[in-house]
Amino acid sequence: RSLCSIQSDHRGPNQKVISISVYGSSSNYTDNGMFAWETSIFSFLIPLANEVKLLLPSWIIRLYIDFTGSTKSQKNFLYNFSNIDICDIHNIPMFGSSLVSYLPGKMWRFLPVFDPFVDYFLSRDLDSPIMKRETETIDMWLSDNER
């Protein structure tokens, strides 16, 4: 099992993952109110998903997220992206809801380090755009690893 979701399991091994944590003030695990549901999560996530699809098409975004404070329609909207796996922090395989009690929100995005299905992973902030220069560096890094 992956450390995300059944959707991540279905992608199989050898995944390349861009991992992001989304948590807000209502989740009480280190305030990150900038990314509140009613303000900006989608304004950053939609462009990021499009950039990854265009510039890093073999990579998947894993969104480690606390849905506290979200509406059902906001939650459902996230499942419409083909290149985003939603990792509900209250339902992480092998941890269930216990993880949220002892791991701060800013650390959730590092879970792919321990995931047996992940070969490569990048940790990002939600508001960090993907740059062409960055993708060229990633391509060089991966080609060096294949030698």
* Burial label, 130 (beta-carbon count in 10 A; 0-12, 13-18, 19+): buried
pLDDT > 60? residue 28: no
DSSP category for residue 37:
T
For the record, the structure tokens of 100 come out as 């949220």
Q: Encode burial over 75-106: b for 16+ CB neighbours within 10 A, e otherwise.
A: eeebeebebbbbbbbeebeebeeebbeebebe
pLDDT on residue 85: 98
For the record, the structure tokens of 128 come out as 């960090």
Model confidence band, residue 36 (pLDDT cutoffs 50, 70, 90): low
Q: Could you write out the DSSP letters of every residue in 82-145?
A: TTEEEEETTSBTTTBTTHHHHS-GGGGGGGGGG-TTEEEEEE--TT----HHHHHHHHHHHHHH
Instruction: Please give the model's pTM, rounded to 2 decimal places.
Output: 0.87
Percentage of the chain lying above the pLDDT 70 cut: 88
pLDDT > 70? residue 29: no
Model confidence band, residue 40 (pLDDT cutoffs 50, 70, 90): confident
pLDDT tens-digit profile of 90-101? 999 888 888 888
